[in-house]
Structure 1
């Protein structure tokens, strides 16, 4: 973007050049002294173009050299005497050129070699134009400097120098014509012809100067009547000379300026000052146009103002470009100020920041004025580990694009990751060198990527070290990206033979048809399990989704466990359980029959001979009856213990509140006799066998009541969710269990209290039922401090209570 200050500077330069030409034309009209005009021209050119030297070279009579006729800045004694070659010098080269000849570097010049005169004054660059025509040149007008200015010679500079040369050429031609006429007419007619010749010469000089300027020019008298217009005026305004002459300049007024504007204009020129300002005028057809306008007063021989000269340089197209640029810049700023990303524009020559949006303050935590004051201040916030790299990349702009990711440390100590890009945005002529950049806060993305990398690393570690099985990661195309595990080593399959291959390239068709639906389900976020036979081994497989930090599925995982040996163990266990059940059934049948006979005879003795027994006999008989009853309970318990796996019901959702209520009803008499108090929290629904879970609760509550000590039993049942499981706790305030005994209480036929009348099977049965539910059971207790039995059971669902 072109800053408005530069446009204003260019405008002021062109106005100053136009005023200088107008002033020089006026002096050409007012003087016959050629030497004075030559010097005035040299001074005007040097001052206007801001150069140390100006030269007016004239061709010599033999056309071999050019003599320094006048100039500014040259060493004393050279003006009027110094010469340069006609053919091999800058001035000589200019004589044969069609337009201005610019020298950017005198020492590197290869169009001519005669540079001694200029080099002796340390001239390094300059510009020259022909005075006269290329066919009949009078000489050369040139401007020179020792050091290259901040700006190069522009088209406007060349036009100004050519206009000055035209004014000079017209004056020289007029002087020559006058001299020839004076010689021809002689002294006799000289006085009579002076006035007429002077007027004709003045008019001719003025017309030539005006027509050569290329600007719209008109003259008006003190009565504000137009007295003259040039052809450029007619082209610009649409008025012919006949239509304009005699009319006031106000025919051009557009209504875009108020009365104060025109009042100040009139007061300025009537006071003898030059008026310079932009103006919006109106053409004959009503169309508006913009112009740079200079109005200068012209005085007569007595120094009185008798007319005004107005010079207009139309700038309508430039104004439209500037307006479009302003609108474009306004739209850009409106957009940039509402962006989340930081946007800035800088001058790549000076490194000055020309614009930065508000996002800089939000991202960097710093005031953007600090960046305007010191464009390098942003480097202070760059993380020390990244600063050297960023400084190198920043120094390479604009020769190379800037594209870096780095960290910054905000004033509050927070570290942010940025992705910063900057590209050159030079003007077409490369006079304006700019860089446009954008900085995006990628902290969250970077953290996600790092988390994903860490997740992938963990998955790969799992894959490579998975025991007794194999793990594979696969992408959305069902191609493996990583595989490993002990199973591959055992089967002699190399991971390299799997990675990068589609499942259809690896497995038999019947296996692919079984794998693919599960693979697709994993990529859609589902977890599935299935069993397959492969390589003469029985495999248990799981497919599950792999998610990133945003919980998005980016891959799938296949986990395969070799359960061949486990299946064999299961088969052996099933056989063992079957034999155990057969044994238990046989034992219960074979033992219960003689036990019933013993019990029957004991009852018969009690009925028939009770009166004949003394006190010891009665006690002995009671012991025998009780022993037989306990033997029956042990046989029943052992039979129930053996049938946990084989006689249990299918698992289904079980309401533990309902189970606890059934157990309370069953134990109602016991609860009432012992004045027991059983409290419970709201219990969940679990996946299990309702009958077996009822047996667990009954055994635990009965034990809590039996071992309550001297005080009435106080029992509390609680539940806590942990992942996919519920932990159910039964806590009493009873006698407690010694830590030494806690290790054996779940063994069959183990009793820990000397007065224990139980069978020693209850807790062993609880443990076996819980294990069938893939849970655990444990005890926490101290003697005299009460006991807590805890059981884990599978939850029905994550949202199910």
Structure 2
């Protein structure tokens, strides 16, 4: 009679043999020692024995072998495992894409799990094979009484429970009470022949669990489960969600200084990096000036405020990162030789913000920042850069508006002088000259006639001047250039996708479509897209962006499937003071959109999207082949009224 250990080994062997994935063991020389039939089949061999004794390199082409030598095998040697995609070669010489998992054994050998993914379809199963998951998780068998019959895997090294303690126990006793009912229902569905996948919190860890029925296996086993430890991924995703949520604050800031303050606050509160600072580039001094620092940074640097910090110039680390335009980390700041400040930073991470400056993070402890740390820092940096650009554009817009209002006031004053003083004076002079003309003769009559003629000429000239002032008072000539609106839309969608991860964005854009506009076009389309998001529930919201050229006009369409805009409001939402958008602090809303599109010589309107609303912009197309074309667009108020 077989022992319990032998029975378990037999059950596991049968389970592995029944898998669709190929599973093989290699010795320390890279030769196949054992494999299941699926492994032989995937490479086109009739029997496993046809490959046993062969070197694994017979299953790959020269190009892939070079990649294995340069990248894959060094990773296995360093990390003990490698997972990824590769291109296998069958016995007949044909190639196929595969998912591959390699795990190092203590004796120098390898466990190899391979899966042919060339015919992957929508119904592709959600679980991975036992051997793929064991390195980072666990595999377990259970019977029709929902008792664990076999449990194994590396995941138990991080848990306060052993495999022996789980085997033989009912699932109901193992699953935490707050999740028990739902999880047991998942197990029961397996007994009905259904597969299931879910997340489980167990022992302070988070697992991705997939359950599957076993059709051919020892009679005491009814199903197989695979659990992959996703705790770190779960934490990263949760952190990214929190970062995206917090980054929305940047949408509502109005100035560059406020943007800097909110950015470092997010770094401290959400990323848990209290030693954070944002630096602004100053072209006049060719240096970086501290715009905002956290209180913790001020303490470490020994200053009261950011104004007390000297600028970064020359060969300072921050200036190098800013000039290179790529993120850099320093694991040991004090011993690196690149330290700018004599402060107790252990390690630093610096993210360039395009032309605007630099975002810097520090930690007390030394050590490398993880890839996840870099991604979070760069995500915050991208949002901060977009917010800085928006704040700068709003500042320019305010300046233009102030200049326009000042110019209008000046012109109204001049117009008033011309109307009340000059024209009234001309009226008095003309009436007196006409009166004299009636009683004069000869040369005196000619002089009076000259006075009348000059009065008429001066009056006509003043009236022409008034006409010009009136026109300038309602329109301002705007310098435009050729702008690739397809690139602008793609960049805006990419930015909004980070800020609003729950919104679906669909893009239907040509490679390039050029219009006559200026640098504020990005704010125009961003304002409309943000309006569509902020005035609708994001759950299930889809924003579709498209553009196409019709002769001399380029039509942009930004549509959503939200609640729409009532017909009676489609004109009023563009009026100043009745803006429908909640663009942060701009004070212009859709009035800004309307004014800028007007200044470009275009039109904007709202249509039904069924469901939702569609904002349609029609802008002048730039002449074909004139990438560098610049010119003047009609100013605000220079467009014909809408029908």
TM-score, reference length from structure 1? 0.26
Give the TM-score normalised by structure 2: 0.31
> Which one scores higher on RCO, CA 8 angstroms, separation ≥ 6?
2
Instruction: Work out which of the two has the higher radius of gyration on C-alpha atoms and give 1 or 2.
Output: 1
